[in-house]
A and B are shown apart, each in its own frame.
Chain A
Amino acid sequence: MRVLIIDDQAVNREQLREMVTEFGYSPLTVESGEDALVVFNEFSPDLVLLDVMMPGLKGDEIAPQLKKLANQVHLPIIFITALDDKRTLLRCLEAGGDDFLSKPFDPLVLGAKLKAHLRTRKLSQTLEQNNKHLAYHSARIDREHRIVKRIFNNALNRNLGDYPYLSTLFLPLSVFNGDTLLTAASPIGNLYIFLGDFTGHGLAAAIGTLPASQTFYSMAARGAPVGQIATEINNRLSELLPEDMFCAAVLIELSASGQRLSYWNGGMNGPQLIGPEGEFLGELAPQHVALGILPSDQFDPAVTTLRVDIGSRVLLATDGLIELGKEHGQMLGASGLRLLLQHFHWEFNSVAHEIKALTKEWHQHDDITLALLECVPTGILAQVPSTDLSQLPFRVRCDMTMNEIRSQDPIASFLRAFEHIPGFKPHRSALFTLLSESYNNAIDHGLLRMDSRLKQSPDGFERYYVERERRLLELEDGLITIEVDYKPESKSLTFTVSDSGLGFLPQKGTNVAEENTEGAIGGEVNFGRGLSLIRELARDVQWLHGGRTICFVYLLQ
């Protein structure tokens, strides 16, 4: 500990230096305030003994300057005085003095005072150190939060940006939100909504939204069923989250038609279903425990599906909103929330405004999320990117003997090859149906002479395929040729499928499928449908060679 002694009288300086040294501190003596200011920084004293009456700068003039040099750390200044003049003493205190030492010096008193004041100095130093640490960490955390925030934004920005039939309000307690609302479109135009509420709030709660959202988006892009998405998210979360952390969540799928609603609800207060006239129809009540609790073998993916009328609404809110005002003994509650929306005639912006006002009045204790979904046709059918059709003409021919017919799947092979030709992919379903119908007709009726009437009874239907299998194994000679001819200029694929059998001709003018339903016999005749599919999907259907060859054209448009 360093003690700076400022006194114009050599006797005093000498006496004080000896005593200070005796106590085990390091003294430095100067004759004037001016000298003190010069040596201050280099010596960097922990305590100052300052004479009040000196020529030049007086003690009470130097004290404030020394205090200033000491920065944030408390520098004890003890005035040396022979005065009993109260006014001078007061002035010294006002100037920043911490104590007095009167002449003649009493070693005991000086020792005690030094000890006491250096203790204060030490405390102040520790405090200063801690403050510096704190400031450093705070800056570091700010920086890290900015980075993490960025990651969160990137991770969650795959939501449907401007879906017009969903209104949302997010009021997180901090930068990070333990609530998460995810939206995505399925390939067939269904809408998925995930509303999750992780235990707690802040970063620790928000961290779980990352794996949950990534799983959600990738499963949604595949058009997976709600139960499966819930299963996957649960598996991810139960792997990652600590035991005391979980995610209350509801997953909703609204069909493209806007009239079918499937949901999986684990521990989330039930979203409210509101009819087109604003009437309350019930809750999508939780049937399961929250996500991230059960191991995968105990997880129950069962969903509930219900039909809803166009114009119905689903009102989703996290606990933060439902329990708003609880501490004030006037919890908003699910019905309160509904009344609020009814009051504002379902005008979302006004409701959001009102809720913000309520959070100020009642003090918010948890993250708040509110979403209002309108059940109408979603209009989000994924557009298949149309690629230009390949300009390269080609012709493929596949001759199959019984060995190949028994062991190969030519339809799958053709489809795999077609997938890679530019512009063919959007047509693969139709191409499958056409190939399957014509090839199976050639086998069943051309080669195997199967009788479709067998298919009429449920048992017969299966017997038909058993019999087909048997005949297929027995037949010794047989040949089927599939030929596909692609002409880019007419965007046409011409299929020619021939068999070596006796030929097969459709009964004249029959379109069995039509008779089937329009003749009100409702599926009594369970065959002939394949040909009508070919007729509808393709054009220029012809039978050649006494029915041993079918030929048709498919337009890639």
Chain B
Amino acid sequence: MNLFTEYSSDRQQFIIRVKGKFDFSMVQEFRQAYSELSDSSINVVVDFRETEYIDSAALGMLLNMRKSLSNHTRPIQLINCRPEIRKILDISRFDKLFQID
């Protein structure tokens, strides 16, 4: 298991962390992680602190999530990106689609 999810203590945030390699091998697990979110006011956060590698399949998965959660009121946050990951997100102009910190 390289994917972890947790709620913040006020349950206003749902955090997904991917450890190590974020690529197509995560497709199902990643989809499942957010598929049961029913509360559209919840703030979805992908925490990249432990993500070392990322490729275009992961970018696709993030876009897919964005599409699935389009009824959510708050933008999806991508946080704790190390510079190399940030670069990949920037190349694909994800800053326009997600809130990146």
Contact with B along A403-440 (1 / 0, CB 8 A): 00000000010010000000000001110110011001
A223 to B47, CA, bound (A): 11
Chain A residue nearest to B85 (CB atoms) is A429
B56 and A225 contacting across the interface, CB-CB below 8 Å: no
A304 to B12, CA, bound (A): 9
Take A526-B63, A533-B88 as given contacts and tell me if A223 and B56 are in contact as well, using a CB distance cutoff of 8 Å.
no
A223 to B81, CA, bound (A): 11
A304 to B45, CA, bound (A): 12
Specify which chain A residues have a CB less than 8 angstroms from the CB of B64 in the assembled complex. Answer: 458, 461, 526
Interface residues of A in 80-118 (CB under 8 A from B): none
Interface of B is mostly: mixed
Take A255-B79, A255-B101, A433-B55 as given contacts and tell me if A303 and B60 are in contact as well, using a CB distance cutoff of 8 Å.
no
A225 and B47 contacting across the interface, CB-CB below 8 Å: yes
Specify which chain B residues have a CB less than 8 angstroms from the CB of A462 in the assembled complex. Answer: 27-28, 31
A458 and B6 contacting across the interface, CB-CB below 8 Å: no
Specify which chain B residues have a CB less than 8 angstroms from the CB of A514 in the assembled complex. Answer: 93
A163 within 8 A of B: no
Specify which chain B residues have a CB less than 8 angstroms from the CB of A430 in the assembled complex. Answer: 84, 87
A525 to B75, CA, bound (A): 20
Specify which chain A residues have a CB less than 8 angstroms from the CB of B92 in the assembled complex. Answer: 513, 516-517, 529, 532-533
Interface residues of B in 10-63 (CB under 8 A from A): 10, 13, 15, 17, 21, 23-24, 27-28, 31, 45, 47, 49-50, 52-57, 59-61, 63
B7 and A458 contacting across the interface, CB-CB below 8 Å: no
CB distance from B86 to the nearest CB of A (A): 9
Chain A residue nearest to B11 (CB atoms) is A302
Size category of the binding interface on chain B: 35 or more
A455 within 8 A of B: yes
Take A187-B82, A255-B80 as given contacts and tell me if A440 and B63 are in contact as well, using a CB distance cutoff of 8 Å.
no
B9 within 8 A of A: yes
Take A187-B82, A190-B80, A517-B97 as given contacts and tell me if A458 and B68 are in contact as well, using a CB distance cutoff of 8 Å.
yes
B96 and A257 contacting across the interface, CB-CB below 8 Å: no
A260 and B101 contacting across the interface, CB-CB below 8 Å: yes
- Chain B residues within CB distance 8 Å of chain A: 6-10, 13, 15, 17, 21, 23-24, 27-28, 31, 45, 47, 49-50, 52-57, 59-61, 63-64, 66-68, 79-85, 87-88, 91-93, 96-97, 101
Known contacts A255-B80, A259-B101, A536-B91; 10 additional CB pairs below 8 A are A190-B80, A223-B49, A260-B79, A300-B9, A302-B8, A429-B52, A433-B55, A461-B27, A530-B56, A533-B92
Q: List 27 A-B contacts (CB under 8 A).
A: A190-B49, A223-B49, A224-B49, A225-B15, A255-B101, A259-B101, A260-B79, A260-B101, A301-B6, A302-B9, A305-B45, A429-B52, A429-B85, A430-B84, A432-B54, A433-B54, A433-B55, A436-B56, A440-B24, A440-B57, A458-B67, A462-B27, A517-B97, A522-B97, A523-B67, A529-B56, A529-B59
